[in-house]
Structures are given as structure tokens and as C-alpha cells.
Chains A and B, each alone.
Chain A
């Protein structure tokens, strides 16, 4: 009898103890669109999560759910995280936008951070990176390197983020090589290695010798490697296992500083709704090492552009620029405002094809 009471007390004490610890810890949740091992987009978000754990150690607890489809399922996952006591939830794909807003309404005390979206609320911030700055550097290298003057572009979904990337790459490829032509394939997926490989092959068969991708897996890199004289760029992550050929450079997402900053803000109670959009200058967008397959003068040109973008002396969308149908968009020397960029739904002049709705 006594022993049983003792055990019960001990159990209760332990329960209280764990509850006490749990309250001290800041719980941070992450919702991922792909598997953490995709080697690209989700992989880098997960690196950001690991950086948060490393920085705060025992003071923080992180949880994540990977491969969450963009749709009602995401709402369920977020709700579950909020119910389990998450203080801060990062939803890391554009397609979680409405779900994030919906769940945030139900949990006013939980802070939400939605990546690459544009809808905010008192407890929902949005954050994104100016990937188009990296695309400008890629476009420059692509325009200089292509021999067939055909550049293949594997696009994912027709959202402003992706369209900005296409436009930025095209503008800068065209600037250094007026004969350049873009062939764009919409894969309608962020992650499907077999489909991405097929898309890369289709583009290569139609004469592309540079493949740019806005999908998350390394499959197009493998397809380019098999084809031989085709160059690619790492997307979201460095993908350096395919360097020096076919991968000649990359755009690297670096979310760690932002995730650490926002977690700190929740701990300090200073969290506020913000709309963060950082680029090369703040280090959110990194340019992976340009490999030796790129001639030195092209490399120097690309790095000079990177520095100009980073310091802010040059904007990737600087006039004169026309829209695809020929109507003027930006006058000589005028730069695009963030509002237009955030909602970009048109191609610039020179790109063939139409954007799917």
C-alpha cells in the first residue's frame, strides 16, 4: 500500500516535472512540402530548423512533419501542431497560404510564419527570399555558356515566385546573349524526380544545353549529366555532388538566421507580424561556388553582378523593360516596386508561350 502511494507520488512528481519543463521550452513546428532528404528546398528548411536547435539547445523543442500535401491535409497537420502546444509554426510552401490563415484564426496565441506567401494576419508573418536575384546571376552565366542558344526551364507552378525567376533569368541571359531563347515546361509539381527527369530530357532532346529548374529534386542534374554537354544550376540547395559539371553554380536558400531571429522574438515576447523579403545582401540568398567549367571572365562577370545586387546598386528588374505583349512596364532606369514583383503574373518581352492560369 505504502509502496503504491510512493510510486503514485513519484509518478505525479515526474509528470509535474515534465510539464514544468515543457512550459519553459519554446516549441517550434515546421511543415514541409517534401521529404527532408530531397536535397533541395525542404532540405534547406530543415537545416534552418537544426540551426534553431543548435542555437537554443534545451530552451527550444522543434517538431516537423514532412511531405505534407498542399491542401486540406496541411490544415490538419498545422492544427495538430498547434494543439500539441507549438508556440511558433513555420509553414514552408506557397500552397499552405490559405490553410495557414485558417488555422491561425483558430489559434490566436500561436505565431505562424508562412514562406513565400503574401497574406498576413495579427499572428501570421510572411517571409521569402529574393531568389530572382540569384536567377539574374544564373541567367548571366546561362546566356554566356549556351552554344545552342536554347535554354530549358523546368517550372513548377504558375505562381509569382516562379514567374519572377523566369523573367529575371531571361532578362539577364538576353542582356549578354541577344539570340537566346527560353523553352519553358510546367511540371505542376515541386517534387517528382521521374517527371523532372523526363522534363529535363524533353528539353535536352529539343536542343537545350542549359537547364534551369524551379523544382526541388536533383533529378534534372542527373539527366543533364547523362546527356553530356549540358549545364545546370543547383536549386534551393547547393547540389554540389553534381559539380563541376553539369552543375556550374547554384542558388542556396539560407533560412537559419531568420528562423533563429524569429524564435528569439517569440521567446522574448517581441514577435510582431512582419513581411520579410531579403536577398543576396542580407545573406538569405546565397550563390553556390561557380565551378571551373565556367570560363574565368564569365565567372568574374557573374560575381560582379552578384556584388551589385547584394550592395543594392543594381536591381534585377531595371528598365527599360516591356511586358510580353509589348506594353511598356518600366522606363529607362526605373526599378520594379515590391508590390508588382510580389504579384507578378506576366512574362517580360521576348519570352514565348503563355503562363497557365
Chain B
């Protein structure tokens, strides 16, 4: 065993990289679920975002344009879900699952010409002055800007849900859509907007994997992160800061266990391999002892006439 071979600064820096796609997808899904919609298509939207972002970044040579395209791609796919569930009144669980299957297939189709292609390099966002701080600098202030975007998105969602009128309305729609409707709020419109936001966030998260974390395109490369994001929202009791904590825990323990293995720590590998899931669930379950519950209208369809 040689723990000294693990560099804690590099470890924490890669923790943040591992947590970011999960955080982006989960924070988007949190808003969707707060509006009372259960979209199980996160994985599909992520992988679609991953290939849209990758393809556009390769063709334009600009990873930033690629990221915008990824958000767009995820949103367009989620629009399909919105049409099915909000207008055609289809079952949300079934629609979400089929969205994942559709997204996986669509991305494989689009991605056929992008196997083995190298994307343009993503600029590292060293923040002047701050990135020179010892220890904290390399961990927090010399990441790419998507990391900061994900953080401020979390902050923004928290402020919006907790302190703004728009957030109050969104929560009202999620808690009791009939009452919100009676008060004159456009339930369907608000939900569609929330779904689009969730799709864009998932798309961004996917593109973060294909453009920055890996970076390359391979079929099925999100490999279940979308599902983990979904679970994270539930375990985090629909609270933005807990989602952030959960994402960092999951990403952190995933990276840590690989480092521990490489350092030859004498913990059986099976336990190390399951540790990200276990630790994240245990911590978040203990934290949700305050009996926070799901939005009351979660997963229920709404029709103004009924």
C-alpha cells in the first residue's frame, strides 16, 4: 500500500470533473420533477446531447458552439417527450423510457461517422489570480468553464425555487396542478418549459462527457450516468444543494476508489467498486430523515378539461 502516491490536489480536481455531468443532468431533472413531471429519458437526452455537441464541435471547430448545440439537441429531444405527455396525455413513465431507447438509437445513428474522430480541445479556464492560490487554486479555479456553469446553475435553481415568484409557481404546479390551474397558471406551458430546461441540462451533461471528460465519441458512452442522475434527484429529496453534494460524493468516491486500487490499498476491490453507490445512498438517505417528500403531482398527467 502506498497512499503517498495519491496526489490529493489532482484527486479533488478530477472529483469535480467526474461530478459535473451528473450534476448538470440531475439539476435539470430536479426542475422537471419539481414541476410535477417524471422524465425517465435523462439517459437518452444525455447521449443525444453528447453526440450533437460532439458533431457540431468537430464540424465548426468550436467546442463552445458544440456545447450550445448539445443543450439544443437535448431540448429538442425533450420536446418530443413534452408533446407526448403534455398534449397527447401519454403515460410519463412509458414515454420517458422510450425516450431513452430512442435517444440511444438516434445517437448511434448520428455518431456513425464520428468514431475515432478527435474533438477540438476545450480551453482550460484558469481564473487569473485565484488559480495561483496554493491547493485551492488548482482544485477550484483552474477547471473548464462548464464546471462553473454547473455550479452557478445549481445556485440559480436554488434561488429560483426558494425565493422567486417563478419558483413558487413552478412548485405550485408540481404540488397541485388543479389548484394552480384554478389560480390561472398555465400548467402545461410551465411544464413544457421545465421539460425543455431539463433536456438542455441533460444535453450539456452528455456533451461534457464527450467533449471534455473523455473526450471522444463512442456509442453508448454515457453508460448509465443518466439513470444515476435520476436516482440522485430522489435521494437528494428534490433539494439542489443535496444534488450537488450527492454528485460530488458519487463522482468523488468513483475517482477515489480507482486511485485507492491503483495505490494498492488492501480493501477488497468488490467493496471499492460498490462504494460510490453505497456511500452516496447512505449519506443522502440519512440526510433525508427530515421527511421531505416528492412533489404531490409527480408523474400525474394534467388536462384542463378533466
Binding site for B on A (CB under 8 A): 34-39, 67, 152, 158, 183-189, 191-195, 197-199, 201-203, 205-208, 217-219, 222-223, 226, 241, 352-354, 356-357
16 A-B pairs within 8 Å (CB atoms) are namely A34-B220, A67-B220, A158-B269, A184-B261, A193-B218, A194-B213, A194-B214, A194-B221, A195-B258, A202-B259, A206-B7, A208-B262, A218-B218, A219-B216, A219-B218, A222-B216
B14 within 8 A of A: yes
Q: Which residues of A contact B224 (CB under 8 A)?
A: 192
B290 within 8 A of A: no
Alpha-carbon distance A208/B6, docked complex (angstroms): 12
Q: Which 6 A-B pairs have the closest CB atoms?
A: A35-B219, A241-B116, A356-B269, A37-B219, A192-B223, A202-B258
Partner of B263, one of A206, A219, A222, A357: A206
Beta-carbon contacts under 8 Å, B263-285 to A: 263-264, 266, 268-270, 273
B32-40, B90-98, B107-115, B239-247: which lies at the interface: B107-115
Q: B259 to A37, Cβ gap below 8 A?
A: no
Beta-carbon contacts under 8 Å, B187-217 to A: 209, 213-216
B255 within 8 A of A: yes
Alpha-carbon distance A223/B111, docked complex (angstroms): 20
Q: Which residues of A contact B57 (CB under 8 A)?
A: none
Q: A39 to B116, Cβ gap below 8 A?
A: yes
Q: Which residues of B contact A197 (CB under 8 A)?
A: 213-214
List 20 extra interface pairs beyond A207-B5, A357-B270, CB under 8 A.
A37-B108, A37-B218, A38-B219, A39-B115, A183-B263, A185-B261, A191-B223, A193-B218, A194-B213, A195-B258, A198-B14, A198-B254, A201-B14, A202-B262, A205-B14, A206-B7, A219-B221, A222-B215, A226-B215, A241-B117
Partner of B258, one of A34, A199, A207, A218: A199
Q: B223 to A356, Cβ gap below 8 A?
A: no
Q: Which residues of B contact A205 (CB under 8 A)?
A: 6-7, 10-11, 14, 259
Q: B220 to A191, Cβ gap below 8 A?
A: yes
Known: A197-B214, A205-B7, A356-B269. A218 touches B262 (CB 8 A): no
Q: A194 to B11, Cβ gap below 8 A?
A: no
B223, closest chain A residue (CB): A192
Q: Which residues of B contact A34 (CB under 8 A)?
A: 220
Alpha-carbon distance A183/B220, docked complex (angstroms): 28
B104, closest chain A residue (CB): A67
Q: Which residues of B contact A184 (CB under 8 A)?
A: 261-262
Alpha-carbon distance A141/B72, docked complex (angstroms): 46
Give A23 Cβ to nearest chain B Cβ, in Å: 32
Q: A195 to B216, Cβ gap below 8 A?
A: no
Beta-carbon contacts under 8 Å, B1-36 to A: 5-7, 10-11, 14, 18, 21
Q: B218 to A38, Cβ gap below 8 A?
A: yes
Q: A193 to B7, Cβ gap below 8 A?
A: no
Q: Which of B6, B111, B218, B219 has the most CB of A within 10 A?
A: B218
Q: Which residues of B contact A192 (CB under 8 A)?
A: 223-224
Alpha-carbon distance A91/B213, docked complex (angstroms): 32
B225 within 8 A of A: yes
Q: Which residues of A contact B216 (CB under 8 A)?
A: 193, 218-219, 222
Q: Which of B209, B216, B259 has the most CB of A within 10 A?
A: B216
Partner of A183, one of B213, B225, B264: B264
Q: B218 to A198, Cβ gap below 8 A?
A: no
Partner of B221, one of A187, A193, A201: A193
Q: A35 to B108, Cβ gap below 8 A?
A: yes
CB-defined interface of B114-129 with A at 8 Å, one 1/0 digit per residue?
Answer: 0111100000000000
Q: Which residues of A contact B7 (CB under 8 A)?
A: 205-206
A186, closest chain B residue (CB): B269
Q: Which residues of A contact B258 (CB under 8 A)?
A: 185, 187, 195, 198-199, 202
Q: Which residues of B contact A37 (CB under 8 A)?
A: 108, 111-112, 115, 218-219
Q: B268 to A356, Cβ gap below 8 A?
A: yes
Partner of A152, one of B10, B218, B262, B268: B262
Q: B259 to A206, Cβ gap below 8 A?
A: yes
Q: Which residues of B contact A185 (CB under 8 A)?
A: 258, 261-262
Alpha-carbon distance A35/B112, docked complex (angstroms): 11
Q: Which of B222, B258, B268 has the most CB of A within 10 A?
A: B258
Q: Which of A183, A201, A357 has the most CB of B within 10 A?
A: A201
Alpha-carbon distance A222/B115, docked complex (angstroms): 13
Q: Which residues of B contact A36 (CB under 8 A)?
A: 219
A189, closest chain B residue (CB): B223
Alpha-carbon distance A241/B115, docked complex (angstroms): 10
Q: B273 to A188, Cβ gap below 8 A?
A: yes
Alpha-carbon distance A186/B268, docked complex (angstroms): 11
Known: A198-B255, A202-B255, A206-B6. A217 touches B264 (CB 8 A): no
Alpha-carbon distance A352/B222, docked complex (angstroms): 32
Alpha-carbon distance A114/B8, docked complex (angstroms): 44
Q: Which residues of B contact A199 (CB under 8 A)?
A: 258, 262
Partner of B254, one of A38, A195, A226, A352: A195
Alpha-carbon distance A37/B216, docked complex (angstroms): 12
Alpha-carbon distance A353/B118, docked complex (angstroms): 35
Q: Which residues of A contact B266 (CB under 8 A)?
A: 354
Alpha-carbon distance A304/B111, docked complex (angstroms): 40
B5, closest chain A residue (CB): A206
Alpha-carbon distance A158/B261, docked complex (angstroms): 14
A199, closest chain B residue (CB): B258
Q: Which residues of B contact A38 (CB under 8 A)?
A: 218-220
Q: Which residues of A contact B221 (CB under 8 A)?
A: 193-194, 217, 219
Known: A38-B219, A67-B220, A194-B209. A183 touches B214 (CB 8 A): no
B225, closest chain A residue (CB): A194
